[in-house]
């Protein structure tokens, strides 16, 4: 049994209440470990450690702080295989995917912000002949970082790295469903020489330890990534406290596929955008709008590819599709497939749970699923499913494609597939999403603003946006 511990003040600690939650391997459906069911008292311990560490961390010369973040990045890279395997066991994602995406990206997050903090400048405004203003950007203090299960170490570090780079001490909580790589990050920080108390990692449920982090008076900012409903709860909880808050929430991302696209490349990329990580990436395409002249051809090509993609044991090197993260999540996604049928949808491919033989016979596997014939207002076109399920609709004009794409409460990411440059730029300008990819998907430059509009969130991460979030700006006006 793999029992993990909280990482507080540079050391591993059992939860003060001595309560644990089960950790289940999605590919087998079996309990393989225990995680601390932390509570308020554990948060108090972590905050005390962070408070003690804060003055020295803030006073540390920038270069030294940056070197420490680089050392963490190197240690993650050195443990790539072990971390990838841990991620695959915990999350159900193909180990090969974790090896080339999740873990290298976690290292890049630290590497990137090690450099970003030295390039982060603030403004100066002169009042000619009278005064000069300059803006200081100072660390917020102790901050909370709460992350989801779909890209565990990748998104955990996407928050922690800029928070540390900006000079804050961090209390971080990974999803209770995927705690393993976050637990290993403690060891990595020890090895890299991060001072005790600078990063504290608490495990447990959102309702208990997550909420206690949000409510703690000494934690001055909360960076949250997760579902829209949880985000709304946290926003409500924090409104009277005036804490800084960043919310990266759900999506229902449209893909606009035009008849003049590069057909072969578009099929490859749109298929990947639909089903990578079992469709459990907030940026995955889930509503596909296809221009009518290529609708049938594109649909058939997608269906052929979906039928050829078989879920398999994620720990096998050649597995391209693993398990969904949990039984309850699998049931939720299956529920949406049933709902789609009730809403008049036609399942063109997939739609069923997969029962593998051997060690994975009780795992949470689902066929890649393609549905057509649903109205844009159908629940399955409006609500986030967050699994390997996409819907297809034809369109006739650019205006219609835009109207359908924007007909959503969400606004995270959109993709446009066309060789018509003017159309692509015009649509990019008018789509209500925080991110638009043209003829590509998930091509990430960590300097760019990352996040969504409307029900997809509040604020942006990435590059200087993240450095701004994790600092307080203070204007100083000097009269001549
Ligand atoms: P979730 O249920 O909202 O949980 C996210 C995190 O918040 C988890 O660590 C969770 O702990 C914690 N939490 C739950 N309730 C809380 C509360 N009341 N107070 C404080 N923390 C609380 O989301 P999820 O199911 O893990 O993740 C899937 C969702 O994340 C999807 O909607 C997806 O679109 C979204 N997402 C968005 C982005 C983005 O960048 N916009 C990226 C990835 C994922 P427990 O695990 O213990 O519940």
Region 400-419: mean pLDDT is: 98
- Residues 412-448 pLDDT 10s: 999 999 999 999 999 999 999 999 999 999 999 999 9
Active site (annotated) includes residue 380 = no
Exposure of 281 in the CB half-sphere (CA atoms within 13 A): 19
Q: Average of pLDDT values for 69-94?
A: 98
- Adjacent-strand bridge partners of 172: 145, 201
Q: What's the rounded Cα separation, in Å, for the pair 468 and 465?
A: 5
Q: Is the pLDDT of residue 1 over 90?
A: no
Contact criterion met (CB below 8 Å) for 214 and 222 = yes
Q: Which of 230, 250, 283 to mutate to test the pocket of ligand 1 (most atoms within 8 A of CB)?
A: 230
Pocket flag, ligand 1, residue 234 (CB < 6 Å): yes
Instruction: Single out the residue of 438, 385, 37, 416 nearest to residue 227, CA to CA.
Output: 385
Mean pLDDT computed over 57-81: 97
Residues 6 or more apart from 448 whose CB is under 8 A from it?
A: 462, 463
**Model's pTM, two decimal places?**
0.97
378 alpha carbon, distance to own chain's centre: 26
* Ligand 1 nearest atom to the CA of residue 233, by list position: 18
Confidence of residue 30 (pLDDT cuts 50, 70, 90): very high
d(CA 445, CA 428) in angstroms, rounded, equals 18
pLDDT at 252 over 90: yes
230 lines ligand 1 (CB under 6 A): yes
Beta bridge partners of 474: 136
- Spatial neighbors of 226 by CB under 8 A, at least 6 apart, are 146, 147, 148, 175, 206, 248, 249
Domain limits, the chain: 2-249+454-479, 253-438
Query: Which of 19, 206, 279, 461 has most ligand 1 atoms within 8 Å of its beta carbon, as the pocket-test mutant?
Result: 206
Is 36 near ligand 1, meaning CB less than 6 Å away?
Answer: no
* Mean pLDDT to the nearest integer, 327-345: 98
- Is 321 a residue whose pLDDT tops 90? yes
pLDDT at residue 204, as a whole number? 98
- The pLDDT-based confidence of 113 (bands split at 50, 70, 90) is very high
- Whether 429 is catalytic: no
**Ligand 1 center–CA 326 separation, angstroms:** 14
Contact 382, 388 (CB under 8 A): no
Mean pLDDT confidence for 285-296 = 98
Q: Is the pLDDT of residue 111 over 90?
A: yes
- Closest C-alpha to 213, from 143, 156, 139, 141: 143
- Is the Cβ atom of 209 under 6 angstroms away from ligand 1? no
Assess whether the C-beta atom of 351 lies below 6 angstroms from ligand 1: no
From the candidates 282, 284, 360, 380, which is the catalytic residue?
Answer: 282
Q: How far apart are CA 360 and CA 4, in angstroms?
A: 24
Check residue 146 and give its pLDDT: 98
Tens digit of each residue's pLDDT (9 = 90 or more) over 349-394: 999 999 999 999 999 999 999 999 999 999 999 999 999 999 999 9
How far is 364 from 361, CA to CA, in rounded Å? 9
Task: Provide CB contacts within 8 A for 359, sequence distance 6+.
Answer: 27, 28, 313
pLDDT at 107 over 90: yes
Calpha distance 329→322 (Å, rounded): 14
> Measured from the CB, is residue 225 less than 6 Å from ligand 1?
yes
pLDDT in tens, 45-67: 999 999 999 999 999 999 999 99
Fold designation for 253-438 = Aldehyde Dehydrogenase; Chain A, domain 2 (3.40.309)
Query: For residue 261, is pLDDT > 90?
Result: yes
Joined together, the tokens standing for residue 72 give: 């963490």
For 384, residues 6+ apart whose C-beta sits below 8 A from its C-beta are 227, 228, 250, 251, 252, 286, 410
Whole-Å CA distances, 89 to 177, 217, 326, 371: 11, 36, 12, 30
- For 100, residues 6+ apart whose C-beta sits below 8 A from its C-beta are none
pLDDT in tens, 155-186: 999 999 999 999 999 999 999 999 999 999 99
Q: Atom of ligand 1 at shortest distance to CA of 329?
A: 25
Q: What is the pLDDT of residues 192-248, one digit of tens each?
A: 999 999 999 999 999 999 999 999 999 999 999 999 999 999 999 999 999 999 999
Confirm or reject: Cβ of 176 under 6 Å from ligand 1: yes
- Using a 6 Å cutoff on CB, does residue 210 contact ligand 1? yes
pLDDT band at 266 (very low <50, low <70, confident <90, very high): very high
Other CB atoms within a 10 A radius of the CB of residue 243 amount to 20
β-strand pairing of 124-127 with 131-139: antiparallel
Q: How far is the CA of 346 from the centre of ligand 1 (A)?
A: 31
* Exposed/middle/buried for residue 450 (C-beta within 10 Å: 0-12, 13-18, 19+): buried
Give Cβ neighbours of residue 147 (< 8 Å, ≥ 6 apart): 155, 156, 158, 159, 172, 173, 174, 175, 182, 225, 226
Atom number, ligand 1, closest to the C-alpha of residue 230? 3
- CATH superfamily for domain 2-249+454-479: Aldehyde Dehydrogenase; Chain A, domain 1 (3.40.605.10)
Packing angle, helices 80-91 and 62-78, rounded to 10: 70
pLDDT above 70 coverage of the chain, percent:
100
Q: Report the separation in Å between the CA atom of 426 and the middle of ligand 1, taken as the mean of its atom positions.
A: 33
């Amino acid at each position: 049994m793999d029992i993990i511990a909280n990482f507080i003040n540079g050391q591993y600690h059992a939860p003060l209440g001595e309560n644990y939650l089960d950790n289940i391997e999605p590919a087998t459906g079996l309990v393989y470990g225990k995680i601390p069911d932390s509570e308020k008292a554990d948060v108090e311990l972590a905050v005390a450690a962070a408070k003690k560490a804060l003055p020295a961390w803030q006073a540390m010369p920038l270069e030294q702080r940056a070197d420490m973040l680089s050392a963490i990045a190197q240690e993650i890279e050195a443990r790539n295989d072990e971390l990838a395997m841990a991620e695959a066991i915990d999350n159900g994602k193909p180990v090969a995917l974790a090896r080339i995406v999740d873990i290298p990206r976690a290292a890049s997050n630290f590497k990137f912000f090690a450099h970003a903090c030295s390039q982060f400048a603030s403004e100066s405004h002169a009042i000619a002949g009278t005064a000069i203003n300059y803006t200081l950007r100072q660390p917020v203090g102790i901050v909370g970082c709460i992350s989801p299960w779909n890209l565990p170490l990748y998104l955990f570090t996407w928050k922690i790295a800029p928070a540390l780079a900006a000079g804050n001490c961090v209390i971080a909580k990974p999803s209770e469903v995927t705690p393993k790589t976050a637990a290993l990050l403690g060891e990595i920080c020890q090895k890299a020489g991060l001072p005790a108390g600078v990063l504290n990692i608490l495990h447990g449920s959102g309702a208990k330890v997550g909420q206690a982090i949000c409510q703690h008076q000494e934690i001055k900012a909360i960076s949250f990534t997760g579902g829209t409903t949880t985000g709304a709860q946290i926003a409500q909880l924090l409104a009277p406290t005036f804490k800084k808050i960043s919310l990266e929430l759900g999506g229902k991302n449209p893909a606009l596929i035009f008849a003049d696209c590069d057909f072969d490349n578009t099929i490859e990329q749109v298929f990947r955008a639909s089903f990578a990580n079992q469709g459990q990436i907030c940026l995955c395409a889930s509503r596909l709008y296809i221009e009518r002249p290529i609708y049938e051809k594109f649909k058939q090509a997608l269906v052929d590819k979906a039928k050829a993609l078989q879920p398999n044991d994620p720990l096998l090197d050649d597995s391209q599709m693993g398990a969904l993260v949990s039984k309850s999540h699998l049931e939720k996604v299956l529920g949406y497939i049933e709902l789609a049928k009730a809403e008049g949808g036609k399942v063109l491919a997939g739609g069923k749970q997969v029962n593998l033989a051997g060690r994975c016979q009780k795992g949470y596997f689902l066929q890649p699923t393609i549905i057509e014939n649903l109205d844009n207002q159908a629940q399955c076109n409006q609500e986030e499913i967050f699994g390997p399920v996409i819907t297809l609709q034809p369109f006739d004009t650019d205006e219609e494609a835009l109207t359908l794409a924007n007909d959503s409460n969400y606004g995270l990411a959109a993709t446009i597939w066309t060789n018509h440059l003017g159309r692509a730029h015009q649509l990019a300008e008018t789509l209500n999403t925080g991110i638009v990819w043209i003829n590509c998907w998930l091509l990430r430059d960590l300097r760019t603003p990352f996040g969504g509009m409307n029900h997809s969130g509040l604020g942006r991460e990435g590059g200087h946006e993240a450095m701004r979030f994790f600092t307080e700006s203070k204007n100083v006006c000097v009269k001549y």
